[in-house]
């Protein structure tokens, strides 16, 4: 396995007058979970399809597992796994039969038992596809993506439509893939998913990467001012601190020095017998950063 799983320089792709990907650079290390985020129409699918070898680029260098995906050699295809948003699976085959069918397409498939256990379908092995729940079918989609024992797995919105507990099961499954040394390239619209899973995130807007880095520091999050929020009880006086906003008794303070501000605030509250109801201290969330970077697209 190369140290760099994906290397992209100056990638461009237009559809007629529409510039879908306008010169992006990307680098994904082997063994990393990398998430590509962006609003609808930003260029994610176009980028991923080029990386998978399913779409030709207009310009730029693309190296995936030491190969040019555009050449689409059999060797390259056997080293990547692709999980699309929905796979039309044979409804009357059982889980085991579907996985076996796809294992048969690859030279060095992952053992059946290992695939079934990785995706958590042990209890459904002999169930027909049509009797699986939506979440179980999605896990079977992932099982198919794993059939050839790929080094690099592309996951397109892996948990769309899942209930919260099914999402957490899927997240654990993706962490399990990473612990096996697989590289995972993920697209998602869920910021909590990117935060929970990704080592690094890139945000694409209008075909250009506008931010890239670990989710905890993206867009200057780590250095951003801290927000302190609470409610004042009715009739309470106001703390002697600069308040950023106050509506319906809710108080917002944005401070670059939370240690001092919290000290001033809680000292005042204790001295005056005031409860700071629902006190919260937070940094901007990944979603806050995402929305500020993509605002033009969404509005
Ligand atoms: P979504 O989140 O909605 O799936 P995306 O980020 O995956 O969006 P793309 O599907 O890559 O975005 O589309 C990028 C731009 O290219 C959009 O403006 C889209 O309309 C356009 N586009 C995509 N595929 C084609 C095509 N086959 N022909 C013409 N235009 C296309």
Confidence check: pLDDT of 299 > 60: no
Beta bridge partners of residue 154, listed in sequence order: 82, 185
Map residue 143 onto helix, strand or coil. helix
- Please identify which residue in the block is written with the tokens 């001012």: 225
Taking CA atoms only, the protein residue closest to ligand 1 atom 11 is 43
pLDDT at 87: 65
Q: Which residues does ligand 1 sit against, CB inside 6 Å? A: 15, 18, 20, 38, 40-46
Tell me which of 11, 12, 14, 15 to substitute to probe ligand 1's pocket, judged by most ligand atoms within 8 Å of the beta carbon: 15
How far apart, in whole angstroms, are the C-alpha atoms of residue 86 and residue 68? 26
pLDDT at 1 over 70: no
pLDDT average, residue stretch 119-127? 93
From the CA of 54, how far away is ligand 1's center (Å)? 14
Q: What is the predicted pLDDT for the residue at 217?
A: 85
| 298 confidence band (pLDDT: 50, 70, 90) | very low
The closest-lying atom of ligand 1 relative to the alpha carbon of residue 189 is 2
Residue 222: predicted pLDDT: 74
Nearest CA to ligand 1 atom 19: 41
* C-alpha 255 to ligand 1 mean position (Å): 40
CB of 11 within 8 A of CB of 59? yes
Q: What is the pLDDT of residues 242-266, one digit of tens each?
A: 776 666 778 888 888 999 999 999 9
Kindly state the tokens that stand for 191.
């910021």
Instruction: Please give the distance, rounded to the nearest whole angstrom, from the Cα atom of residue 40 to the centre of ligand 1.
Output: 8
User: What's the 199 CA to ligand 1 centre distance in angstroms?
Assistant: 26
pTM of the complete model: 0.85
Q: Which residues contact 191 (CB under 8 A, 6 or more apart)?
A: 37, 285, 286, 287, 290
């Amino acid at each position: 396995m190369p140290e760099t799983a994906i290397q992209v320089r100056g990638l461009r792709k237009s559809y007629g007058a529409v510039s879908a990907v306008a010169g992006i650079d990307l680098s994904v290390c082997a063994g990393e979970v990398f998430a590509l985020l962006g609003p609808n129409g930003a260029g994610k699918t176009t980028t991923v399809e080029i990386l998978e070898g399913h779409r030709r680029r207009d310009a730029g260098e693309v190296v995936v597992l030491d190969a040019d995906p555009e050449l689409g050699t059999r060797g390259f295809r056997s080293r990547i796994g692709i999980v699309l948003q929905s796979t039309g699976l044979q409804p009357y085959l059982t889980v085991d039969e579907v996985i076996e069918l796809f294992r048969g397409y690859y030279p060095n498939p992952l053992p059946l038992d290992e695939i079934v256990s990785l995706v958590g379908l042990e209890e459904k092995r002999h169930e027909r596809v049509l009797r699986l729940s939506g979440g179980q079918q999605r896990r079977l989609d992932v099982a198919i993506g794993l059939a050839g024992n790929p080094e690099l797995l592309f996951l397109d919105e892996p948990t769309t439509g899942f209930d919260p507990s099914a999402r957490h099961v899927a997240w654990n499954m993706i962490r399990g893939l990473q612990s096996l040394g697989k590289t995972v390239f993920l697209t998602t619209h869920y910021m909590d998913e990117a935060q929970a899973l990704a080592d690094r995130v890139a945000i694409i807007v209008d075909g250009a990467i506008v931010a890239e880095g670990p989710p905890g520091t993206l867009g200057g999050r780590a250095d951003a001012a801290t927000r302190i929020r609470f409610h004042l009880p009715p009739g309470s006086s106001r703390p002697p601190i600069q308040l950023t906003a106050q509506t319906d008794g809710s108080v917002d303070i944005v401070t670059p020095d939370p240690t001092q501000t919290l000290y001033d605030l809680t000292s005042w509250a204790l001295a005056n017998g005031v409860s700071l109801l629902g006190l919260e201290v937070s940094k901007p969330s990944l979603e806050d950063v995402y929305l500020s970077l993509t605002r033009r697209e969404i509005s």
